[in-house]
A and B are shown apart, each in its own frame.
Chain A
Amino acid sequence: QKEVEQNSGPLSVPEGAIASLNCTYSDRGSQSFFWYRQYSGKSPELIMSIYSNGDKEDGRFTAQLNKASQYVSLLIRDSQPSDSATYLCAVNEGGATNKLIFGTGTLLAVQP
């Protein structure tokens, strides 16, 4: 059973701080990794994708991938109250389709 694990939180950070969200996955063959943000009652919204080891930056967001250790992380710099949401880590299972396996999500609360 291929798994993606996340700490459910809540992760509470003060406004302006760096929020660090982590995710581990079980399938060494996975090649594509995604972070989605989900506000309460809404659908997941793509934040970042990463495919190669190392860091990928997009504005205030940085995704980090370490395939040897099988973990993915998301850093949010200068956290804002509007960043408060559940962050879902998703891993492409591979094979003929791009089936995504999701973690249960980490709830982030940014305190003003």
Chain B
Amino acid sequence: DAGVTQSPTHLIKTRGQQVTLRCSPKSGHDTVSWYQQALGQGPQFIFQYYEEEERQRGNFPDRFSGHQFPNYSSELNVNALLLGDSALYLCASSLASSHLTETQYFGPGTRLLVL
């Protein structure tokens, strides 16, 4: 049973560039959430995708955008990169339901360094 996968594992970009990160959810899961984790901090919620729609968004600027494909995989795009965007980007997958107890499982993350 494949877990959550993310690519690439590491990425180095320069300020002003654009980046695309990819995530495939755990088998059987249909919901993907993206988090940003700065050094020494807990993960911060960016947004969540379900049925190819953005369901909820955290306190992140419009430079952060995403997409979910029919096979439930997802992309996170960040435009006009800033030094402060350097972080570990985590994808978490879950199975949507009306119950609030669904568990989120994290992928290995993509470490982004902006120079």
Contacts and interface: CB of A to CB of B under 8 A. Distances in A.
Interface string A98-109: 111111110000
Contacts of A98: 33, 94, 100, 102, 104
A13 B101 CA distance: 32
A97 B105 contact: no
Contacts, number: 66
Interface residues of A, number: 27
A66 interface: no
Interface in A25-76: 31-32, 34, 36, 42-46, 49, 51
Interface residues of B, number: 27
B108 A43 contact: yes
A98 B50 CA distance: 11
A99 B90 contact: no
Interface in B90-112: 90, 92, 94, 100-109
Given A43-B106, A43-B109, A44-B90, A104 B43 contact: no
Contacts of A51: 101
Interface string A2-20: 0010000000000000000
A92 B42 contact: no
B103 A49 contact: yes
27 contacts: A31-B100, A32-B101, A42-B108, A43-B88, A43-B109, A44-B90, A46-B105, A46-B106, A49-B103, A51-B101, A92-B100, A92-B101, A96-B56, A97-B33, A97-B50, A97-B56, A98-B100, A98-B102, A98-B104, A99-B48, A99-B58, A100-B35, A101-B45, A103-B42, A104-B40, A104-B41, A104-B42
Interface of A: 4, 31-32, 34, 36, 42-46, 49, 51, 88, 90, 92, 94-105
